[in-house]
Structure formats: structure tokens, C-alpha cells
Structure 1
Amino acid sequence: MIVNNLESLKELIEKVKASQEKYATFSQEQVDKVFKKASIAANSARIQLAKMVVKETGMGIVEDKVIKNHFASEIVYNKYRDSKSCGVIELDESYGFQKIAEPLGIIAGIVPTTNPTSTAIFKALLSLKTRNAIIFSPHPRAKKSTIEAAKIILEAAIKAGCPEHIIGWIDEPTIELSQALMQHPDIKLILATGGPGMVKAAYSSGHPSLGVGSGDTPAVIDKTADIKTAVSSIILSKTFDNGMICASEQAVIVEDKIYESVRGEFQERGAYFVTAEEREKLGKTIIINGKLNVAIVGQPVSKIAEIAGIKIPEGTKVLIGEIEKVGYEEPFSYEKLSPILGMYRGNNFEEAVERRNGTSFRRYRHKV
């Protein structure tokens, strides 16, 4: 069936609910078999899914998306394969209590365009491990990739004995359908990964929700740091999948005593510090009408520089803007989801930490 309107969504939820009620009766042995087969199928498809994502969205790096898909499938499986998730999972006869695991029912999975397959994979696998069903609402720009990942896991789960509709999805996602899914009375939990607006909508749905919005992760480098390791780690983080991981650093605050040393190390490792004029042009490219410019998300620095109308040295890995302000008027203090970094100076460690706390100036985000 094709889910593209409220009526077809209602029909899907009914089918998924019936499948979940059957799956809730499965034993631990049956569940673990499903979990294993689904994980293997997802991991086997990690390369084709990575290629599909980059082709569909035009964002990120294939090789890095392969790693994310691998982590979401095999690493997640290895983490939870021996965990009990059915019936009595803990018994303490001394204190006379038991812990009993029961499924919730149907989970709504909101999936972002930045990680459309890896997010779908781990949410589907965790749902299967806990005898829950899940219905995905993909991002419109990445719907084919998300749906393909869901199909691969569903087919493997069915072959392992799972009911037919244990995983579902919206084929033509819209804001209306996403909200209808999240607000439906048969939805027992929402796993929302996306922008602040989507996370806020999940928390406002009336159902229990686990939301992951913007990251805006700041990092402090003080005089006790191993400068080479710190700078290398930040560059690796900012260049992985072209900076689309929401946990990657968005700003770095450097203690004054080592500022020039850190700056030099960044340059040595391929970072380019934009001039004041270039920073102005790049800032107008990062934020347009108060929102992140989607044209730069997950793009290489060469393309971002071209969009901004600035020239950068060949081989540049990261663009860095040296800034002082934090807030809506400073584009470099936003989450940028690209290989762009804001760099601040702190007179001492205490000031650097205070500045670090101020970089997360918007709501509905998480810190690492």
C-alpha cells in the first residue's frame, strides 16, 4: 500500500497495530533471531544505502555514510544482542522484586535528511529488539533512502518469522502526515531526530517523546591540552561526512595563552582562516532569513566557497571564522552542519568555559 494521505495512514496504523500485538507474544529466542537477521541484512546493504543517500540528497560522503550504516547495524547489534528484552529481565529474591520487560506498542520514527538510513536502521532494530513496531516519517529530501532501509530490515524480519507489517512508513511525507502520525492515539512513543521545529512538534504531540535536535557542540582548548591531538580530533570531526554529524564541533574557544599555537596547528592541518571580508560573505551564505542555508549542508569546502564567492587554497579541509559575538546576529555561532567552524578567544579557562556555555543560545538542542 502507498501511504500518501490521512486515510491511508490510518489504514497503515491499523495493520501495524495488529502485527505488533502478534509480535508482543514472541519469546526472547524468537526476538533475538529477528534482531540478528535484520541487523545482518542492514549491514550487508550499508554500501548500497550510502550511495543511494548521497545520490538522492546531494549531501555528505559515501565512505563516511557506510561507516554510519555499519555502526547503526552491526555495532548496535553487538551492543544489545545478549540483552534480555522479554518477560522477566531481572530477579532479586533477597529484596523480592522483579523487572519485567513489556513492549510499548507502535513507535513513530522521525528521520532527518542528514542521516536518513543510519537513523532508520538503529531505530528499527531497537524497536524489533523490544517487540515494538515502528512507523517512519522520512524527510521529503531523503524519503527513497529511508524507505529502502526500512524495506530491507522489514523483509529480513519477515523471513525470520516476524508479522508482515511490523515496520511501516509514509511514502509521501508531509508536515500534515507527520503530525497526524505523532498525534495518533495508537502511537505510544516518538523517536524524533531532526530540526528544532520537528522536535518541538514531537514534544507537543501529547505522547512520550525522545527528541534529538540541534547539537551546536562547543569545544574548549585550554593551556593544558595536547594541541596537536585536540586540533586533529576537531578537524576529523568537522570533515567526517562533510560535518553533518550534529555532535561535531560548531565552535571552538581557545585560551589566550595558546591561541596562536592552536591557530597555527589548524593551518598546518589544512584549515583556512577567512579574512574579515570573506567572513562577511560566508556569514551571509551560512544563514539566510534567520535559518541555516540548506545549500551548504553536507557540502565540501570548495562548493561552499564557490557559493559564498570567496577563493580558498587548494586542499583546504575546514573554513574557520574568528569571531567574538554569540547570538542570532552572528552566523558562525549557529549550528552549521558543514565543514565550517567558529573560533573564539578566551582570556583564561573560566572565561572560555563561560563563553562555551553561551554558544548554545537557542532551545531544543543537545550538548555533547
Structure 2
Amino acid sequence: MTAQDALASGIAEVEQIVARARTAQQAFEACGSQALYDKAALAAGWAIMEPARNRSLAELAVETTGLGNVPDKITKNHRKTLGLLRDIAGVQTQGIISDDPATGITEIIRPIGVIGAVVPSTNPAATPANNIINALKGGNAIVVAPSPKGVASCELLLSFIHAEFAKLGLDPDLVQMIPAPGSKAKTQALMETADRVICTGSQNNVHRAQSCGTPAVAVGAGNVTVIVDETAALADAAAKITASKTFDNATSCSSENAVVVVDAVYDQFIAALAREGGALVPEAGTAGIIAKLWPDGHLNREVIAQDADKMLAALDMGGKVPADTEFLAVETKGIGPDHPLSGEKLSRILAVYRAADFPDAKAIAARILDHQGAGHSIGIHTRQDARAVELGREMPTCRVIVNQAHTFATGGAFTNGMPFSLSMGCGSWGGNSIDTNLNWRHFVQTTKIVREIPPREPALSDIFAAYWAEAGE
């Protein structure tokens, strides 16, 4: 078979998968009820949350992707799915959701159809599961396009989901994936034939999703920056930043990449980080870290999302830092393309900036986000809530995370009100159409029944009276 024949065969295969998904979805919707949609979503949820299956998925993910660690992936699979199921419990996604006599409008919530979901290798089970649950909750079918390293995890997840579906008599064609070998051409074919694209992952994929001709919901790049001001509870901030930075070996887009510390508490905070396992690399040692972290202009795969001992060995830092080191806190000043530490590092490495005061910290953080990560989120550890509000008014960000471990808070937590999600919209700052966490609302649409009502046309004076009083007619 020639390469051209293989390409055509792969595209035809995707078209057949989508066709089966469309047939399954139409039947799912035709006999649809809230109970049916909820049952399907719960089946997918239990498929990943059942402890033995969760462990199998976590172990396979680490084995095949080489990213993260098993205990944290088990925690992530469990908590992200449990939180999502809590969020959607009792949510109406089928039938008439409003009937307003005053406007004459009746609103009916409807499925979108076939969802095409492009997912990354960093969370090869949790992210597909999140998309699948949301899709089923809304009465949709879904076809997942995993990254090459995520194929095995996705295959196993779908086998678990289909086993649950078999117990309930649900059509397995409601949840499918693009089989190996994956390719850009196959993913492109999925994006062009689905009814909506959901894309989480590389910015290359995001660009392709948003230009494929199908309505797309995509998310922006993370490069979380956190400010520690002079009023912060330093021990608490250091503990939370450490827990967040090291969770699943920093695979999350919500993992802290830079911390900006106000000068008045800089030394005390660095000491607090050291007590948590954060070893300081002075600015004089930055060049060596950069050379080994980006040996050929690309992030070193022996460092990305690795356990601390493997990361330190790859960076030739073994024996140069304390034995209990969990991550490296690297002092730096540079920001921008020529200063890679100011960007996302996907590893247990935290860039540390020293600010003269809070206004200076804001300015540094803004420059970092302008370089990378605009729209995603920023954090602050402070006792002055007004400063968090100030960041919300001034910074190019959709989320300000206050006094929390960032990676646990941004995508939803049981201790805050954000929707549980693994995909964060970044608004216009990040080139996205959404500024919220991806959630069930992005998997449904509505039809409005519009009836005539008595006229409600105002007089000009009703609208302009105050303006005329100030500016004249």
C-alpha cells in the first residue's frame, strides 16, 4: 500500500467511525431521557473510578507515556471524575428547561451530536473520561483522538466503559476512539466531520481545531505565575506551592512555573521552600540548568514530568542539593523568548523572581503572562484580598487563585466553587472562545420556541431622559 493509499484508508476509517457514532447518537437522543443520559454518564464515571481499573489506567499511563507517577494519577483520575459527577448531579440536560409566559419563549435543551475530542498524553485517562462523561450527560456520542503516547490508555479506558455499557444495554458506538496508528490526517478528518470539536493539548492542535471549519472549543497554554506578597502566611504558601508543583511530576497546565516573591519576605520564603524540599539554585547556576533542560532547543525528555531523583540525575544535580530535594527553585530575572525559564517547563523546576514590592511583582507577573500563559490563571498568597481583586481587574487572566495550591484549585476543588475540569478556557487573552473551565454546558445547545407577546416598545424619553439631562437633546 502506498503512503497515499494509507492516508485515504485512514481518513475513510475515521469517516466510518463518525458515521457509526452519528447513528448511535441519533438513537440515543430519539429514546432520550434525563435518566438515560445520567445512567450513561455514571457508567463512564465508574469505568475510571472503580479502584482496580483506576490503578490499571494509572500504571499504563505512566508506563506508556513516561510522564507523571502512578499514585498521583490514581488521585487525579478519582478526584477529577468524582468532582465532575458531583457538578453534573441533578443538572437538567434533556427536555424543556424554561417556559416563560412573559417573553413567550420556551427553551429546550438539545444534544450537539457527535463530539470530536482531541486529548493530550499528560492526562491520557482523566481528560478523555471528563470529555466522555460531559458528552454523554448531554445526550451526545463522542470520538476521542488521543496523542500517540496516549493510545493504550485510551483503549483501556474505552474497554472499561464498554464493559459498563454492556451491563446497561447501551450502544458502545456512543464512545469510540481513533485507533492506532494515529496521525494528523486522521485527527483532521475527525475535526472536520464531527459536530463540535473539543481540543486540549498542544497549541498546534488548538490552532488546527479552531481553523478546521467545525465549531470548536479549545483551551490555551498554561504558564502559571504565583505572587507571594509581604503579608502571606509563608509556611502555608510554601507547603501549598510544593504540593502543587510536585503533583504528578508537574504534568498539569495548572502547575506553578514561576513564583514572584516580594523582597521583604524573600529570604524567609526561600527558607520555607527549603523546608518543604525546594532546593534553591542561585542565579549563577541558571545557565547550567538551562543547557541541560533544553539541550537542543527542546525540553529534555529525561526531565519532563519525571520523579525528583530522575530529574536531578538528568540535570547533573545529584549530590549538589539536599538528599530530600523534591524540586528546584531556580533564581532568574529574564523574561521572554531568550529566557526559557520564564515559560512552561513541565517539570519539577520553579523559576523564582524577586520583586521590590507588590506593584513590581504585578509588573513582573504581567510580563511573564505576556510572554506565555496569558488568560490561563495567576495565583497569589496574601492576607489582603483586595490585592487579589486588583489582579482580577488588571492582569490578562481568567482566574486568580487565592491562597491555594494552584494545580488543585484551578481545575475545580472540593474547597472552591470552580467546575471540575482538566481544560481551562483562556478567553481572548489566550486566543480562546471560552473563559471558563470546560464543563457540561459546552456539550449542549438549545432550541427556543418564540411566540408573539404584547408589544413592549419604550418611548424615546424612557431611554434617553438621563442622557438628555446631561448632554441635551
Partner Cα distance (1:325, 1:146) in 2: 40
> 1:23-172 alignment to 2 at 5 Å?
23-25=28-30, 26-44=32-50, 45-172=53-180
SS at match of 2:195: strand
> 1:1-368 alignment to 2 at 5 Å?
5-25=10-30, 26-44=32-50, 45-172=53-180, 173-184=182-193, 187-276=194-283, 278-311=285-318, 312-360=321-369, 361-362=371-372, 366-367=376-377, 368=399
Contact 2:223 2:373 in 1 (8 A): no
Between 1:161-170 and 1:106-115, the stretch displaced more is: 161-170
Q: CA deviation at 1:363?
A: 6.6
Contact 1:91 1:99 in 2 (8 A): yes
Q: Deviations over 1:160-190 (max 9, x none)?
A: 2322311111112112211221122xx1211
Normalized against structure 1, the TM-score is what? 0.93
* Moved segments of 4+, more than 4 Å: none
Partner Cα distance (1:123, 1:89) in 2: 23
Contact 1:323 1:344 in 2 (8 A): yes
Q: CA deviation at 1:216?
A: 0.2
Identity of matched residues, %: 28
Aligned length: 364
Q: CA deviation at 1:13?
A: 1.2
User: Which structure is larger by alpha-carbon Rg, 1 or 2?
Assistant: 2
Contact 1:199 1:364 in 2 (8 A): no
Q: CA deviation at 1:221?
A: 0.7
Partner Cα distance (2:42, 2:120) in 1: 25
Q: CA deviation at 1:158?
A: 4.3
SS at match of 1:116: coil
Normalized against structure 2, the TM-score is what? 0.73
Q: CA deviation at 1:53?
A: 0.8
Q: Deviations over 1:25-65 (max 9, x none)?
A: 21112222222222222211212111111111122111111
Contact 2:15 2:189 in 1 (8 A): no
Contact 1:143 1:171 in 2 (8 A): yes
Q: CA deviation at 1:250?
A: 0.5
Q: Which amino acid aligns with 2:19?
A: E
Q: CA deviation at 1:292?
A: 2.9
Partner Cα distance (2:148, 2:375) in 1: 22
Q: CA deviation at 1:263?
A: 1.1
| Structure 1 portions without partners, runs of 5+ | none
SS at match of 1:296: coil
Q: Which amino acid aligns with 1:8?
A: E
Q: Which amino acid aligns with 1:354?
A: A
Aligned-residue Cα RMSD (Å) equals 1.9
Q: Which amino acid aligns with 2:347?
A: S
Partner Cα distance (1:283, 1:227) in 2: 28
Matching residue of 2:4: none
Q: CA deviation at 1:364?
A: 7.7
Partner Cα distance (1:48, 1:334) in 2: 33
Contact 2:286 2:332 in 1 (8 A): no
Matching residue of 2:423: none
| Structure 2 portions without partners, runs of 5+ | 1-6, 378-398, 400-473
Q: Deviations over 1:197-226 (max 9, x none)?
A: 111111111222222242101000111111
